[in-house]
Structure 1
Amino acid sequence: MATTTTELDRDTAVIAVGDGVWQATISDQWAVPRGPNGGYIAALMLRAMLCAVDDEARAPRSLTLHYLRPPVPGTDATIHTTIERAGRTLSTVTARMVQDDRPMVIAIGAFANDFPTVADYSTPPPPEIATPPKELHTLEPAPGVPPIALRAALSPVFGPGPMSGGDEALVGGWLRLADPRPADALAVAFYTDAWLPSPFARLTTPAPAPTVDLTIHFRTRLPYAGMAPDDPVLARFSSSTSAGGFFEEDGAIWAPDGTLLAQSRQLALLFPGAAPPPASS
């Protein structure tokens, strides 16, 4: 893998220990109040899976993660990878993160070369893609600010605003890592869970929203050609339904030129703050 130079690179580093097993340290710099951010964990799992595939021609196409329990920040974990099948063009890989003999995260991914196509089509990006911001905003460390809030630079575009009691569950805007790096698959995996949960636009006070499962579809080879390391992406996340303590969230991430980089969907919990955390955030 490339020499690690950025925060995300350093904090998703893995070391091979043999037989498809990788050792990693769960950084405490990507934490929300209830554990590591789900996008950070997705990037870490993806790095181990990419190392297992060990073929740059086979780009990430799909990644699904189930968060069983929050990994413990500041401690080591092992990631067990298995190449379930390696065909002529597509490899299917599973991965399991373990701490203290307990499974934390389970993932399955598809990695493939390009296929011939019989049709190319896409939905146009939102009109907001035409007006990128002059600058993005980062937070400074302060009491009560979780570490994850310091890892991204933002410029909100979509939705009524967090805790505004709005009439739609919609959030998002321009986004990049605070420590700039190319928008490769690791960065984009993080971006799919980097914004506040979309139901927060309907709420008036925060609530725990741990992710149960997250699926990411990478819609082009990454890093996307033509994007500089400090170029932001445009990210939009929305939810149509919250019922029985669960909500879904659909996401889309575009390059500044309007190219769709990734789509995501996750199922997450939404419950009062006194409830116990059954999954990772």
Structure 2
Amino acid sequence: MQSEAHALDEATRLVPLGEGWHAGATHPAYANMAGPFGGVTAAALLNAVLVDPRRLADPIALTVNFCGPIAEGEFEIETRLQRGGKTTQHWSMELKQKGVVCTTATAVCGARKPVWSHYPVKGPTAPSRDSLTEMRKDGRPEWTRRYSFRFVEGGLDNYPRSDGLVHSARSLAYIQDAPDRPLDFVSLAALSDAFFVRIMHARGTFQPMATVSLTSYFHADADELAAIGAAPLLGEADATIFHNSFADQTCALWTPDGRLVANGVQITWYKE
């Protein structure tokens, strides 16, 4: 008997309409406060490149710009191979609804070769995942139920709060698809945006907020991701500035043994 498809695969499934042209649809399992969870949109855009027969190598970078709201329902993704060579390919993507651009993106694919490697950065120290409690999901957007969050520090169990204090924007948590799903570039693209907007951690107030642009860098090839399987990743996120409606946000995703598999940066928007 064939097992039921994972919700992430359903949400990022694309139907080919022609070269560089696919149809998809939003999925209720990844609904956010307004429109879909940005990570699943990023994953769908990357998937349009992953399934393109012109792709020659694994993705190494993804940038997504959220231009406007995405309504519930069908969308189309147009993908262009802008330029390619033996080592890298440069792609651009547009997600449209009824002919209107909602999201743009670029991706770089790069051929990794077994040459010199060096890992100067070390993963953060954390207790075992089993010693930590699962984040409560009551009152949170539907997409949060698609992930397991076990915070080491900077949790959101007391959010929102009205103490008037500004706390650290840093958080550290084990993050994993729920139910479990073997890691690949689709899930890694989504996981790279599975960090809550930093103003929630720093200020603790509930207000309009959203990611405007995100960039994720991937530091493993497909075989390396497959070897990780469905193991949880240790996610670290922080911010360095909140200024007049915009804030930055950095993130990193580590394997349980301290291997960095992805990191990135975002610019986010907030409103009083």
Instruction: Output the TM-score relative to the length of structure 2.
Output: 0.89
Query: Alignment partner of 1:34: what SS?
Result: coil
Task: Name the residue aligned to 1:178.
Answer: 178
1:159 to 151, 154, 157: 154
Determine what percentage of the aligned residue pairs are the same residue: 23
Residue matched to 2:95? 97
Structure-2 change in CA distance of 1:136 and 1:185 (3 Å)? farther
Q: Which residue of 1 aligns with 2:229?
A: 228
Where does structure 1 lack aligned partners over 5 or more consecutive residues? Answer: 273-281
Distance 1:219-1:262 versus aligned 2 partners, 3 A rule: same
Partner residue of 1:85?
83
User: What secondary structure sits across from 1:269 in the alignment?
Assistant: strand
Change (3 A) 1:221 1:135: farther
Distance 1:4 1:101, change over 3 A: farther
- 1:150 matched to which residue of 2? 145
In structure 1, give the amino acid aligned to 2:70.
P
The alpha-carbon distance between structure 1 residues 218 and 173, as it changes in their structure 2 partners (threshold 3 A), is same
CA contact (8 A) 2:135 2:151 kept: no
d(CA) in 1 for partners of 2:191, 2:131? 20
The separation in 1 between residues aligned to 2:51 and 2:166, in whole angstroms, is 43
Tell me: CA distance 1:169–1:16, structure 2 relative to 1, closer, same or farther (3 Å).
Answer: same
> Any gaps of 5 or more consecutive residues in structure 2?
none
C-alpha change, 1:123 and 1:113, in structure 2 (3 Å) is: same
Q: Which amino acid aligns with 2:39?
A: G
Which stretch shifts more, 9-18 or 199-208? 199-208
How far apart in 2 are the matches of 1:24 and 1:202? 36
Aligned to 1:107: 105
1:47 counterpart SS class: helix
2:66 maps to 67
Aligned-CA RMSD value: 2.2
2:128 maps to what in 1?
131
Q: Work out whether residues 151 and 179 of structure 1, in 8 Å CA contact, stay in contact via their aligned partners in 2.
A: yes
Q: SS at the partner of 2:182? A: coil
Is 2:272 the counterpart of 1:268? no
User: In 1, Cα distance between the equivalents of 2:121 and 2:160?
Assistant: 30
Cα separation, 1, equivalents of 2:186 and 2:129: 23
1:136-193 per-position Cα deviation (integer Å, ceiling 9, x unaligned): 63656x6x43211211111011326444544311123001011211121111111121
Paired with 1:147 and 1:15, the residues of 2 have a C-alpha distance of 25
Maintained 8 Å contact 2:135/2:150: no
Distance in structure 2 (CA, Å) of the matches to 1:4 and 1:17 = 25
State whether residues 4 and 10 of structure 1, in contact with CA within 8 Å, keep that contact through their aligned partners in structure 2. Answer: no
Q: How does 1:246-265 map to 2 (within 5 A)?
A: 246-265=246-265
Report the CA distance shift for 1:53/1:240 in structure 2 as closer, same or farther (over 3 A).
farther
Match for residue 215 of structure 2? 215
Structure 2 partner of 1:50:
50
Counterparts of 1:184 and 1:139, CA distance in 2 = 26
TM-score (structure 1 length as normaliser):
0.86
Size of the alignment, in residue pairs?
264
Q: Distance in 2 between matches of 1:53 and 1:259?
A: 30
Tell whether the 8 Å contact from 1:160 to 1:166 is kept in structure 2 after alignment: no
**1:5 positional shift:** 2.0
- SS of the equivalent of 2:52 reads helix
Q: Is the 8 A contact 1:138 1:178 kept in 2?
A: no
Deviations 1:59-107 (A, max 9, x none): 110000111012112x110000011112112111111001011001111
* Equivalent pair of 1:171/1:197 in contact (CA under 8 Å): no
Aligned with 1:211: secondary structure?
A: strand
